[in-house]
């Protein structure tokens, strides 16, 4: 294979709407394609814009997903300088970005801090002073949507102006983040009270405020009693250059939700931190800047019960005399645990705008936590249910996400056998599964052996009680479980078989949500006494056998099941041309049909079997315009003419075709497929096929991606492989061989070299 795998995990799944429960995904073992575009898109969100352009050429999958998540772009000085120095003109470069990043909706220009317009979400002012106070009234009135306000430096000669500004700011009821840099001269007790009252006004009126940053520049002592009213505060940063009272942080005892605290207080003493563990018991993040910390400070900090990260920021010229023992003592007291959160572990769940420059992500370098629960949930979604239980203990992140994507569960024989042989009782095991997987929507318990049938109702009751989202159950019917079927009937949407287990056919009417049904005779869906149809509005119907004696049932069934999309009649026996016409005429009325499976045995006394078959198929194709999948099984008669299928010419919308027959085959049997331009999947079970049937297959089926051949007579040799290798779009080739013969390595290598897009070859 000269090329890499290029398609996503459903690369060989056509885009028709037919259900396809048995077709496995197709991908190379060494390819990440099996994880799909959804996983790639999340992974690539962690790249910078520059890295996205660098990595775009890695694969087709990268090209599809690398720019999808780019929704904002920053035009900085560095960015513009690089544009000016690029080999291409900066206009061409910007055009390239705009074409690739077609979904961004937010542009921030750091070259100009002035913001204009109404209905802003964020405003940053580098400077504000008394003369501009009159602008606040109009600005606030037109920007009630403002969520983040940053005033870097506000100069006030008189506290009256500050009171006026804070009064206007208190009208911003949607505000979630506020940063104030207040510059005063000397503050006496009266002016200090005015400042606190102004801040209290904002705290009382801005109920959604969750992040507050205060930078107070004054030459006199400062207190902040107004912080008591900021009860929803989650993040606080204080910066002050004046002398600090030891009780400065006492008001924080009323901020029960505070998780992040930053202190830039050069003139504070260690006593400020003394009772911090009492005032802020939920504090996870602590930043201390421009303060000469000592062992006494560390001792106070170590008492914080929820602290996850401590940052000590100091200038290069400052020296600290901490010993290793000091830090080990701190760690032993309060930081024995590893980082346990997701990438936003220290980001509270408020809806405030994130500014990743001011609030960097916090995680250990050797931890996958930085990738977040969204990525982890996608990765574990590829695990089986059994593996999910095995890997649940890996981390807290796995525990949070490993069962979140479990929305369907299959109760098969192996699963039940393991339950019965487990150390814990099967009821306990099922209860554990149901509790851990509360989002289960679908349960499939079809095709379970008779010996285990008695356990199924009990299992389903458990899931029904614990899984509030449970909406569908796929099952067979169980004998001697009348009450169980009656109570579970509203949830049952698919029945796999054994309708004879019903105490009365009339019970079918209980399953009013039934969409899939499998029976051995069409007569089983009609009431014995009055002939009333009991199954209506089906989408999938499987009929194991049918004969002309029940043709009179088709008109009523077809009329009440116009929604039918998939029909399988496994075995049909006819002896007259008229009976074939009758059934064909009825089936051709199913205009929504997308998948049809027919097993036909014609023993006509009044016509040519093959000719009648082609007329039959031609009429269905002419009326069932949405038919995309056709499976045909044909049982021949002795001395019958060569088998041909000219009727395939009219199946122009067909995407998948399966043919099985024991008849003698015409070498040009597949030539009509030339007209099926959308055919991508072909499956052949031809007992008497010759190599010539495959000679021009590449001309008949130029879009073929999947080919399955049941090689009953070992005719697939080097010559046949050469014919198959010409298929230009073939991605998967499966051969079923009845004899224990293999191809040489050279033969396989040549076949692979000639097949440009082949992903998988399988010999079974």
CATH number of 324's domain: 3.80.10.10
**392, part of any domain:** no
Please check the confidence at residue 346 and state whether its pLDDT lies above 50: no
For 131-166, letters b (16+ CB in 10 Å) and e give: eebeebeeebeebeebbbbbbeebebeebebbebbb
HSE-up of residue 345 (Cα within 13 Å, Cβ side): 24
User: Which residues lie below 8 Å from residue 37, measured CB to CB, with a gap of 6+?
Assistant: 8, 61, 64, 65
Q: What is the dihedral of CA 513, 515, 517, 521, to 10 degrees?
A: 100
Query: What pLDDT, on a 0 to 100 scale, did the predictor assign at position 314?
Result: 65
Q: Which has the closest alpha carbon to 409: 429, 387, 437, 450?
A: 437
Domain boundary among 277, 300, 334: 334
What are the Cα distances from residue 62, in Å, to 13, 32, 38, 65, 627? 20, 11, 11, 5, 34
285 vs 234: CA distance, rounded Å = 11
Name the packing angle between helices 372-380 and 36-44 (round to 10°).
Answer: 150
Most confident of the ranges 94-103, 446-455, 571-580: 571-580
648 vs 676: CA distance, rounded Å = 8
In sequence order, what E strands does 134-199 have? 148-155, 177-183
pLDDT digits (tens, 9 = 90+) for 153-206: 888 777 788 888 888 899 999 999 999 988 776 667 777 788 888 888 999 999
Beta strand 211-217 with 629-635 is unpaired
Least confident window among 343-352, 599-608, 655-664: 343-352
**Banded model confidence at residue 315, pLDDT cuts 50, 70, 90:** low
**317, part of any domain:** yes
**531, part of any domain:** no
**604, part of any domain:** no
Name the packing angle between helices 159-169 and 189-205 (round to 10°).
Answer: 10
Enumerate the H helices of 392-525 as residue ranges: 396-401, 413-420, 426-436, 456-466, 482-488
Please check the confidence at residue 661 and state whether its pLDDT lies above 60: yes
More confident residue, 44 or 275: 275
Average pLDDT over residues 664-686: 93
**Banded model confidence at residue 117, pLDDT cuts 50, 70, 90:** low
Domain count, the chain: 2
Please check the confidence at residue 77 and state whether its pLDDT lies above 70: no
Query: What pLDDT, on a 0 to 100 scale, did the predictor assign at position 704?
Result: 95
**Banded model confidence at residue 615, pLDDT cuts 50, 70, 90:** very high
**Banded model confidence at residue 22, pLDDT cuts 50, 70, 90:** very low
Please check the confidence at residue 583 and state whether its pLDDT lies above 60: yes
86 vs 624: CA distance, rounded Å = 59
DSSP character string of 634-682: EE--TTPPPB--GGGGG-TT--EEEEEEEEEB-TTTTGGGGG-TT--EE
What backbone phi and psi angles, to 5 degrees, belong to 639? 60, 25
Domain boundary among 280, 301, 334: 334
Average pLDDT of every residue of the chain: 79
**611, part of any domain:** no
**228, part of any domain:** yes
pLDDT digits (tens, 9 = 90+) for 358-387: 444 555 556 666 667 888 888 888 888 888
C-beta atoms surrounding 718 within 10 Å: 12
Query: Which domain does 749 fall in, by range?
Result: 680-764
**Banded model confidence at residue 324, pLDDT cuts 50, 70, 90:** low
226 vs 192: CA distance, rounded Å = 11
Q: What is the pTM of this model?
A: 0.58
Query: What pLDDT, on a 0 to 100 scale, did the predictor assign at position 221?
Result: 65
pLDDT digits (tens, 9 = 90+) for 458-482: 888 888 888 889 999 998 876 666 6
Q: Which has the closest alpha carbon to 490: 473, 469, 478?
A: 473
More confident residue, 534 or 62: 534
Enumerate the H helices of 383-529 as residue ranges: 385-391, 396-401, 413-420, 426-436, 456-466, 482-488
Most confident of the ranges 18-32, 102-116, 341-355: 18-32
DSSP character string of 687-712: EE--GGGGTTHHHH-TT--EEEEEET
CB 164, CB 197: distance < 8 Å: no
More confident residue, 70 or 694: 694
More confident residue, 641 or 330: 641
Please check the confidence at residue 503 and state whether its pLDDT lies above 60: no
**527, part of any domain:** no
Name the residue with tokens 């009509």: 672
Please check the confidence at residue 107 and state whether its pLDDT lies above 60: no
Domain boundary among 334, 358, 391: 334
**270, part of any domain:** yes
Please check the confidence at residue 18 and state whether its pLDDT lies above 70: no
Most confident of the ranges 97-101, 267-271, 694-698: 694-698
């Amino acid at each position: 294979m000269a090329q890499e795998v290029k398609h996503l995990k459903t690369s060989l799944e056509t885009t028709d709407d037919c259900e396809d429960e048995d077709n496995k995904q197709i991908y190379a073992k060494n390819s990440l394609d099996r994880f799909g575009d959804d996983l790639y898109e999340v992974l690539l969100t962690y790249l910078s814009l520059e890295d996205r352009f660098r990595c775009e050429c890695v694969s087709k999958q990268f090209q599809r997903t690398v720019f999808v998540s780019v929704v904002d772009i920053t035009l900085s000085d560095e960015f513009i300088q690089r544009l000016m120095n690029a080999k291409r003109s900066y206009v061409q470069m910007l055009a390239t970005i705009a074409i690739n990043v077609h979904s961004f909706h937010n542009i921030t220009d750091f070259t100009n801090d002035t913001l204009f317009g109404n209905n802003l979400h964020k405003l940053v002012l580098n400077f504000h002073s008394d003369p501009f106070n009159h602008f606040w009234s109009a600005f606030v009135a037109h920007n009630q949507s403002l969520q983040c306000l940053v005033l870097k430096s506000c100069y006030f000669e008189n506290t009256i102006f500050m009171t006026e500004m804070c009064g206007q700011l208190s009208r911003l009821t949607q505000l979630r983040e506020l940063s104030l840099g207040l510059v005063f001269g000397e503050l006496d007790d009266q002016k200090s009270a005015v400042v606190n009252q102004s801040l209290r006004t904002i705290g009382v009126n801005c109920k959604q405020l969750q992040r507050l940053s205060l930078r107070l520049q004054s030459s006199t002592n400062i207190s902040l009693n107004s912080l008591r009213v900021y009860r929803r505060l989650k993040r606080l940063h204080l910066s002050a250059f004046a002398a600090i009272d030891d009780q400065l942080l006492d008001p924080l005892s009323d901020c029960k939700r505070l998780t992040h605290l930053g202190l830039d207080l050069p003139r504070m003493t260690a006593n400020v931190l003394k009772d911090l563990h009492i005032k802020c018991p939920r504090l996870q993040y602590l930043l201390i800047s421009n303060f000469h910390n000592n062992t006494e400070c560390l001792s106070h900090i170590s008492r914080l019960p929820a602290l996850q990260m401590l940052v000590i920021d100091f200038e290069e010229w400052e020296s600290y005399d901490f010993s290793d023992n000091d830090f080990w003592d701190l760690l032993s007291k309060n930081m024995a645990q590893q980082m346990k959160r997701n990438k936003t572990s220290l980001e509270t769940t408020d809806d405030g705008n994130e500014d990743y420059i001011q609030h960097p992500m916090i995680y250990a370098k050797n931890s996958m936590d930085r990738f977040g629960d969204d990525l982890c949930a996608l990765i574990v979604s590829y695990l089986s249910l059994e593996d999910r239980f095995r890997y649940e203990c890996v981390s807290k992140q796995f525990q949070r996400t490993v069962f979140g994507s479990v929305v369907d569960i299959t109760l098969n024989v192996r699963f039940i056998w393991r339950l019965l042989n487990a150390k814990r009782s099967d009821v306990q095991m099922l209860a554990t599964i149901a509790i851990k997987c509360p989002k289960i929507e679908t349960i499939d318990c079809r095709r379970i052996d008779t010996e285990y049938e008695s356990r199924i109702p009990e299992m389903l009751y458990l899931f029904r009680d614990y899984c509030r989202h449970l909406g569908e159950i796929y099952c067979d019917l169980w004998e001697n479980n009348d009450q169980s079927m009656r109570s579970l009937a509203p949830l049952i949407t698919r029945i796999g078989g054994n309708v004879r287990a019903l105490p009365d056919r009339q019970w079918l009417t209980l399953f009013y949500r039934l969409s899939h049904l499998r029976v051995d005779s069409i007569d089983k869906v009609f009431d014995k006494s009055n002939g009333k149809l009991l199954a209506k509005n089906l989408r999938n119907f499987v009929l194991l056998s049918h004969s002309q004696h029940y043709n009179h049932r088709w008109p009523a069934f077809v009329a009440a099941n116009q929604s039918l999309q998939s029909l399988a009649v496994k075995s049909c026996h006819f002896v007259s041309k008229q009976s074939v016409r009758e059934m064909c005429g009825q089936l051709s009325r199913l205009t929504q049909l997308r998948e049809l499976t027919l097993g036909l045995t014609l023993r006509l006394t009044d016509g040519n079997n093959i000719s009648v078959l082609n007329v039959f198929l031609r009429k269905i194709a002419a009326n069932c315009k949405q038919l995309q999948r056709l499976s045909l099984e044909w049982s021949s008669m002795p001395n019958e003419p060569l088998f041909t299928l000219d009727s395939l010419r009219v199946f122009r919308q067909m995407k998948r075709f399966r043919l099985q027959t024991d008849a003698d085959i015409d070498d040009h049997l597949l030539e009509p497929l030339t007209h099926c331009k959308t055919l991508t999947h072909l499956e052949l079970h031809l007992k008497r096929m010759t190599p010539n049937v495959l000679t021009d297959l590449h001309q008949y089926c130029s879009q073929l991606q999947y080919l399955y051949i049941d090689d009953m007579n070992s005719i697939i040799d080097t010559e046949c492989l050469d014919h198959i290798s010409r298929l230009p779009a073939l991605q998967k080739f499966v051969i079923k061989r009845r004899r224990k013969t293999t191809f040489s390595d050279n033969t396989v290598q040549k076949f692979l070299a000639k097949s440009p897009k082949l992903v998988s070859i399988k010999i079974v």
